[in-house]
C-alpha cells in the first residue's frame, strides 16, 4: 500500500498506476512462459509415470508373469520383487505429478486468468469512466451565465455522477493492481516451495523403499556375480572340452586312418582283438563301479528293413555297458514343453536356491525324451562290407534277431567303429569267461580248505565261519592300509601294482601305467584273475599299503619337508581322491622314480652295504626288510651275483654268523640267472621286478606270474 501514499487524483497518482500496470503486463508475460514450462514438466512427469508402468509390465511379461522354465532360468522369481518396487515408485511419481499440476499450474492459471485479467478489466472500466467524467466536466464548464437554472442543475448532477463513477473505477483499479502487487510477493514462492516439498516427499518415499530393498539388491548382485563367474568357468570348460574333443577327433582319425584294411576270412567274419583299443578294458571295468562312459558315438547311415527304402542317418552310441543304441531324429519340441514349472513367486530366503534348481532343471537335456533302439552286442558279431550292396564304407552287425547294415562317412570312421564294437564284444565274452574262472577257483579253494586238518588255519581268501572262498579283492583289502588307495586314499581300490605290492584306485593306476612296466606293473583285482596265485597273494599279505608307504613316504610320515632341487623348489604333498591327475602324476613320479620321499639309512663305517644286507635279510626270511632295502638301494642288485656282493674279505667276516647253506644256495638264488630279469629293458632301475626279485631270492617257483 506504500505505493499510494496520496490517493488524490494527480499526475503522481496517474504515474504510479501506469507503473503498476506496466509491471503487471511484464508479470503476465513471465507467467505465460512459466505456465508453458510447467505444462511441459507435468507432461514429462506423466510420460515418466507411464514409462515406469510400461517398464514394469514389460519386465513382468519378460519373466515374472509366467510359471515356466524360461522364466526360472532368467530370474523371474527374483525380478518380481523389483517389479513391485518399480510400480510403487511409479505411484510416487503420480503423486508428484498431481502436486505439480495443482500447486503450480492451476495457481499460475488462476493468477493469469483471474487476477491479471481483473486488473485489465478494471483499467478498461476506469478509462470509460474517465472519458465520461471528462465529457460531463466539459459540458458543465461550457455553460453560459444566462443558462437556465434547470439546465445547469441537470448538467451538475450529471457531472457529480460521472465523478462518482470515475472515483469508484479509479479505486477499483488501484485495488486490482495492489492485489497483484501483494500476490506476486508470496504466490510464486508458495507454489515453488510446495513443488520442492513434493519432490522431497517423492525422493524420501523412494529412498525409504530402496533402503528397505537395498540388502536384497546387494544379495542379488552378489548372486549374479557368482553366476557370472560360474558361467565364465563353464564357458572356459566348454571351450577346453571343444578343443580336447577336436584334438581327440583328429588323433582318432589319424589313428584309424593308419590301420591296415583287415582281411576277411572265408566265412566273411572279421575278428579284431581287444588290443585294438587298450583303453576299452578299463572303460568296461568302470561300469562295475556304477559309472557309465561313452566309448564312441556319432552318425551312421542305416539301411531300413525294406531294401527299397532310403538310408536314414542315425546317431549311434557305444557305452561301457557293452550296449550299442541309436536315436531317431524326431522333430524338436519347444524348449518349454520339456518341463513343467510349478514354483510360486515368494520372496524368501530360499529364492536363490529355488531359482538355481529351476535353472539347472530347465537347462538340462533329458535324453530319455528321445526315442532310441538298442542292439544287443552279446549275441552279435560284425562283418565288414555288405555283399548285397555296391556302396563303399559299409559294415554289418549280425545278430539272431536282426541284421543292421550301416555305412560310415569315411574309411577311418568305419575302421574305428568296427574295431571298438569288436573290442566290446570280445570284452563281454572274456568277462563271462573270467566270471566262470573265478567261480571255479572259489569252488576249488573251498574244497581244499575242507581237506585241511582241524588244527590248521583256513586257506587264504576263505571265510572261517561260512568256509566259503572270498574274492581276491576282499582278501587283499583286509591287509593293513589296503582299504584305501596307496596314493590318494580313495576307498575300495580295485587295482594293484604287482612289483610294488600296493593297491590303487583306477585313476592312480592310470598314472602308474604311464611310469612304465620297469617302474610299476598294474593289474586288476577282478579282471586279471590268473595273476593272483597263492604265492603272489602271500607276498601282498606280508606287505600292505601301510608298510609300503612307510618306506616310500618315510619323510612325509615323519613330517619332514621335502624341498629338493629336482623337486622344483616346492614341497611335495600327498594327493587326495578329489585332486586332479596332474597333482597325482607329480607326486607319484617324485615318490617312485625320483625317490624324494624315502628316508635312507645313514652310511656308517664297518656296516655292510645294502646289497649285502639284502642277502642277510633273505637269510633271515625277513620279507619286509628285503623290500625296504631294495627300495632304498641306489645300487643295481639285479645283475649281481653272490660273489659280486660278498667279496673274499666280506665273506670271511660273515662266515661265522651265516649258515653254510647260504653259500650252497647262491647259484640257485642268483637273481642274475633269472631270464625275465635279464630281458628287462632298463636293468639299471632297481624297481624292475621288485617283488619278482624278492620272490626269486626266497626260492619261490611262482615269480613268473608277476609278469
CATH classification of the domain holding 32:
1.20.1270.60
Flag whether pLDDT at 410 surpasses 60: yes
Helices (H), 100-148: 106-110, 116-141
Q: Give the mean pLDDT of 471-482.
A: 87
Q: Are residues 400 and 517 in the same domain?
A: no
Q: Are residues 118 and 58 in the same domain?
A: yes
Identify the weakest region by mean pLDDT among 269-273, 364-368, 540-544: 269-273
C-alpha cell at 217: 539388491
Residue range of the domain that includes 515: 479-545+588-595
The rounded distance, in Å, linking the Cα atoms of 651 and 671 is 19
Q: Give the mean pLDDT of 319-338.
A: 64
Flag whether pLDDT at 459 surpasses 50: no
Q: What is the pLDDT of residue 202?
A: 92
Q: What is the pLDDT of residue 613?
A: 77
Q: Are residues 493 and 631 in the same domain?
A: no
Q: Give the mean pLDDT of 549-576.
A: 68
Is the model more confident about 596 or about 652?
596
Q: Is 568 exposed, middle or buried (0-12, 13-18, 19+ CB in 10 A)?
A: exposed
The rounded distance, in Å, linking the Cα atoms of 384 and 270 is 7
Q: For residue 90, tell me if it sits in a domain.
A: yes
Flag whether pLDDT at 649 surpasses 60: no
Q: For residue 77, tell me if it sits in a domain.
A: yes
Among the candidates 175, 209, 243, a domain finishes at 209
Q: What are phi and psi of 532, to 5 degrees?
A: -85, 70
Q: Residue 528 is part of a domain; what is its CATH number?
A: 1.10.220.150
Total domains in the chain come to 4
Interval 27-44: pLDDT, tens: 999 999 999 999 999 999
Q: Yes or no: say if 451 and 295 are a contact pair by the CB < 8 Å rule.
A: no
Among the candidates 177, 209, 241, a domain finishes at 209
Instruction: Tell me how crowded residue 567 is: count the other CB atoms within 10 A of its CB.
Output: 15
Grade residue 270 by pLDDT with cuts at 50, 70 and 90.
very low
Q: What is the pLDDT of residue 288?
A: 57
Instruction: Specify which of 56-70, 220-234, 358-372 reaches the highest per-range mean pLDDT.
Output: 220-234
Q: For residue 539, tell me if it sits in a domain.
A: yes
Q: Yes or no: say if 439 and 319 are a contact pair by the CB < 8 Å rule.
A: no
Q: Whose CA is closest to 393, among 246, 256, 272?
A: 256
The rounded distance, in Å, linking the Cα atoms of 351 and 354 is 5
Q: For residue 141, tell me if it sits in a domain.
A: yes
Q: Are residues 391 and 305 in the same domain?
A: yes
Q: What is the pLDDT of residue 51?
A: 92
- Residue found by looking up cell 569267461 in the block: 433
Q: Are residues 23 and 138 in the same domain?
A: yes
Q: For residue 534, tell me if it sits in a domain.
A: yes
Q: Give the mean pLDDT of 274-302.
A: 69
Q: Are residues 158 and 307 in the same domain?
A: no
Is the model more confident about 341 or about 560?
560
Q: Residue 400 is part of a domain; what is its CATH number?
A: 2.30.29.30
Among the candidates 183, 209, 235, a domain finishes at 209
Flag whether pLDDT at 672 surpasses 50: no
Q: What is the pLDDT of residue 474?
A: 86
Q: Are residues 181 and 292 in the same domain?
A: no
Q: For residue 339, tell me if it sits in a domain.
A: no
Q: Are residues 70 and 132 in the same domain?
A: yes
Q: For residue 560, tell me if it sits in a domain.
A: no
Grade residue 199 by pLDDT with cuts at 50, 70 and 90.
very high
Grade residue 384 by pLDDT with cuts at 50, 70 and 90.
confident
Residue burial 685-695, b: 16+ Cβ < 10 Å; e: rest:
bbbbbbbbbbb
Q: For residue 353, tell me if it sits in a domain.
A: no
Q: What is the pLDDT of residue 341?
A: 39
Is the model more confident about 73 or about 222?
222
Return the percentage of the chain with pLDDT > 70, whole number.
Answer: 67
Amino acid at each position: 500500500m506504500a505505493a499510494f501514499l496520496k490517493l488524490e487524483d494527480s499526475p503522481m497518482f496517474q504515474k504510479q498506476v501506469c507503473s503498476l500496470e506496466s509491471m503487471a503486463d511484464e508479470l503476465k508475460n513471465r507467467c505465460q512462459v512459466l505456465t508453458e514450462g510447467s505444462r511441459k514438466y507435468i507432461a514429462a512427469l506423466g510420460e515418466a509415470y507411464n514409462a515406469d508402468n510400461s517398464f514394469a509390465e514389460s519386465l513382468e511379461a519378460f519373466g515374472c508373469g509366467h510359471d515356466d522354465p524360461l522364466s526360472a532360468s532368467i530370474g523371474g522369481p527374483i525380478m518380481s520383487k523389483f517389479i513391485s518396487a518399480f510400480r510403487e515408485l511409479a505411484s510416487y511419481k503420480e503423486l508428484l505429478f498431481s502436486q505439480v499440476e495443482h500447486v503450480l499450474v492451476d495457481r499460475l492459471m488462476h493468477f493469469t486468468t483471474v487476477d491479471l485479467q481483473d486488473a485489465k478489466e478494471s483499467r478498461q472500466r476506469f478509462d470509460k469512466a474517465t472519458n465520461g467524467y471528462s465529457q460531463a466536466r466539459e459540458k458543465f464548464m461550457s455553460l453560459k451565465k444566462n443558462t437556465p437554472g434547470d439546465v445547469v442543475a441537470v448538467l451538475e448532477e450529471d457531472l457529480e455522477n460521472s465523478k462518482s463513477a470515475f472515483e469508484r473505477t479509479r479505486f477499483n483499479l488501484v485495488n486490482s493492481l495492489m492485489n497483484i502487487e501483494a500476490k506476486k510477493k508470496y504466490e510464486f514462492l508458495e507454489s515453488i516451495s510446495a513443488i520442492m516439498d513434493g519432490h522431497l516427499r517423492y525422493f524420501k518415499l523412494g529412498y525409504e523403499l530402496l533402503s528397505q530393498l537395498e540388502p536384497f539388491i546387494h544379495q542379488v548382485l552378489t548372486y549374479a556375480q557368482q553366476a557370472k563367474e560360474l558361467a565364465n568357468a563353464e564357458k572356459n570348460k566348454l571351450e577346453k572340452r571343444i578343443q580336447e574333443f577336436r584334438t581327440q577327433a583328429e588323433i582318432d582319425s589319424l589313428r584309424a586312418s593308419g590301420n591296415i584294411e583287415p582281411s576277411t576270412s572265408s566265412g566273411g567274419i572279421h575278428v579284431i582283438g581287444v588290443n585294438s583299443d587298450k583303453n576299452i578294458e578299463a572303460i568296461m571295468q568302470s561300469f562295475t563301479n556304477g559309472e557309465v562312459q561313452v566309448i564312441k558315438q556319432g552318425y551312421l547311415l542305416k539301411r531300413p528293413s525294406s531294401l527299397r527304402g532310403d538310408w536314414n542317418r542315425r546317431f549311434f552310441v557305444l557305452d561301457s555297458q557293452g550296449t550299442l543304441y541309436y536315436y531317431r531324429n524326431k522333430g524338436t519340441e519347444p524348449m518349454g514343453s520339456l518341463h513343467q514349472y510349478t514354483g510360486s513367486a515368494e520372496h524368501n530366503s530360499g529364492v536363490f536356491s529355488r531359482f538355481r534348481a529351476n535353472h539347472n532343471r530347465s537347462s538340462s537335456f533329458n535324453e530319455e525324451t528321445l526315442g532310441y533302439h538298442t542292439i544287443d552286442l552279446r549275441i552279435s558279431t560284425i562283418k565288414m562290407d555288405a555283399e548285397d550292396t555296391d556302396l563303399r564304407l559299409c559294415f554289418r552287425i549280425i545278430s539272431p534277431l536282426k541284421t543292421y547294415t550301416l555305412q560310415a562317412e569315411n574309411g577311418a570312421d568305419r575302421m574305428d567303429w568296427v574295431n571298438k564294437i569288436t573290442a566290446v564284444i570280445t570284452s563281454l565274452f572274456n568277462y563271462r569267461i573270467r566270471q566262470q574262472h573265478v567261480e571255479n577257483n572259489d569252488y576249488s579253494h573251498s574244497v581244499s580248505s575242507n581237506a585241511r586238518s582241524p588244527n590248521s588255519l583256513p586257506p587264504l581268501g576263505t571265510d572261517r565261519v561260512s568256509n566259503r572262498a572270498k574274492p581276491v579283492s576282499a582278501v587283499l583289502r583286509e591287509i593293513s592300509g589296503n582299504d584305501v588307495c596307496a596314493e590318494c586314499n580313495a576307498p575300495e581300490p580295485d587295482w594293484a601294482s604287482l612289483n610294488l605290492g600296493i593297491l590303487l584306485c583306477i585313476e592312480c593306476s592310470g598314472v602308474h601305467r604311464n611310469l612304465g612296466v620297469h617302474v610299476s606293473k598294474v593289474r586288476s583285482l577282478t579282471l586279471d584273475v590268473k595273476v593272483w596265485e597263492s604265492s603272489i597273494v602271500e607276498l601282498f599279505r606280508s606287505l600292505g599299503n601301510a608298510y609300503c608307504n612307510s618306506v616310500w613316504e618315510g619323510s612325509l610320515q615323519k613330517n619332514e619337508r621335502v624341498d629338493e632341487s629336482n623337486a622344483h623348489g616346492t614341497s611335495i604333498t600327498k594327493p587326495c581322491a578329489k585332486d586332479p591327475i596332474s597333482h597325482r602324476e607329480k607326486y607319484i613320479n617324485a615318490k617312485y622314480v625320483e625317490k624324494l620321499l624315502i628316508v635312507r639309512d645313514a652310511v656308517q663305517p664297518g656296516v655292510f652295504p645294502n646289497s649285502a644286507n639284502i642277502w642277510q635279510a633273505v637269510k633271515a626270511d625277513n620279507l619286509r626288510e628285503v623290500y625296504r632295502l631294495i627300495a632304498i638301494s641306489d645300487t643295481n642288485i639285479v645283475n649281481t651275483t653272490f660273489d659280486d656282493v660278498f667279496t673274499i674279505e666280506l665273506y670271511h667276516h660273515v662266515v661265522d654268523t651265516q649258515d653254510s647253506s647260504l653259500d650252497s644256495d647262491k647259484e640257485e638264488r642268483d637273481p642274475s640267472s633269472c631270464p625275465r630279469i635279464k630281458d628287462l629293458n632298463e636293468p639299471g632301475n632297481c624297481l624292475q621286478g621288485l617283488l619278482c626279485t624278492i620272490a626269486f631270492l626266497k626260492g619261490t617257483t611262482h615269480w613268473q606270474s608277476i609278469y
